[in-house]
């Protein structure tokens, strides 16, 4: 995960495009998760707070606990953007985060849908400025984050 193959231009494009998003993370995170539930509604029941399942995405998206999860997701992405040059520092944290997600029933494959939803949110935010180069830079970064998180799943699989 050293540099995730990110050139200095990739890093610059990611930092610049994240600036606008990080100014209002919750608002953009809601766009991301709304898209995620559109693409993969099966993920909705995985979010349960006090053993209560949500019956609609709208109900989920207006719960304070879920909004906290959105903030947490945006903070992880923010940390990745901050550590573009030394992503390996996040490896252990991300592997642990992967483990926690496996424990709550998330399949590693669902993280591809999260990636699509992330790109969707970035495109909504930037419009045509979100060109192919910016998209590719983000795809590399997100791929590196998922790769690090998937180590958490792999470790558990070996123990099973």
Q: What mask of x and - would describe binding to ligand HEM in positions 48 to 77, judged by CB under 6 A? A: -----------------x---x--xx--x-
122 touches ligand HEM by CB under 6 A: no
Query: Taking the chain, what is the end-to-end CA distance rounded to the nearest angstrom?
Result: 26
Phi, psi (rounded to 5 degrees) for 5: 65, 25
Binders of ligand HEM in range 80-99 (CB under 6 A)? 97
Q: Give whichever of 84 and 132 is closer to ligand HEM, judged by the CB atom.
A: 84
Distances 18 to 21, 77, 78, 89, 124 between C-alpha atoms, Å: 5, 9, 8, 20, 13
- Residue for token pair 């940390």: 79
How many Cα atoms are found within 13 Å in the side-chain-facing hemisphere of 25? 15
Contact between 37 and ligand HEM by CB under 6 A: the answer reads no
Examine residue 46 and tell whether it contacts ligand HEM (CB under 6 A).
yes
- Least distance between ligand HEM and beta carbon 9 (Å): 24
Alpha-carbon distance 118 to 120, whole Å?
Answer: 5
Contacts with ligand HEM, 101-120, as mask; x by CB under 6 A: x--x-x---x---x------
Binding residues vs ligand HEM (CB under 6 A): 43, 46-47, 65, 69, 72-73, 76, 97, 100-101, 104, 106, 110, 114
């Amino acid at each position: 995960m050293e540099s995730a193959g990110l050139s200095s231009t990739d890093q610059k494009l990611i930092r610049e495009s994240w600036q606008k998003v990080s100014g209002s993370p919750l608002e953009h995170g809601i766009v991301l998760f709304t898209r995620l539930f559109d693409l993969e509604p099966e993920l909705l029941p995985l979010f349960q707070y006090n053993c209560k399942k949500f019956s609609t995405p709208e109900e989920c998206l207006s719960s304070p606990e879920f909004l906290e999860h959105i903030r947490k997701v945006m903070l992880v992405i923010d940390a990745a953007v901050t550590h573009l040059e030394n992503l390996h520092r996040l490896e252990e944290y991300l592997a642990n985060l992967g483990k926690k997600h496996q424990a709550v029933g998330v399949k590693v494959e669902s993280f591809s849908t999260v990636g699509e939803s992330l790109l969707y949110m970035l495109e909504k935010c930037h419009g045509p400025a979100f060109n192919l180069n910016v998209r590719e830079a983000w795809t590399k970064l997100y791929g590196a984050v998922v790769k690090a998180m998937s180590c958490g799943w792999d470790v558990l699989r070996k123990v099973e």
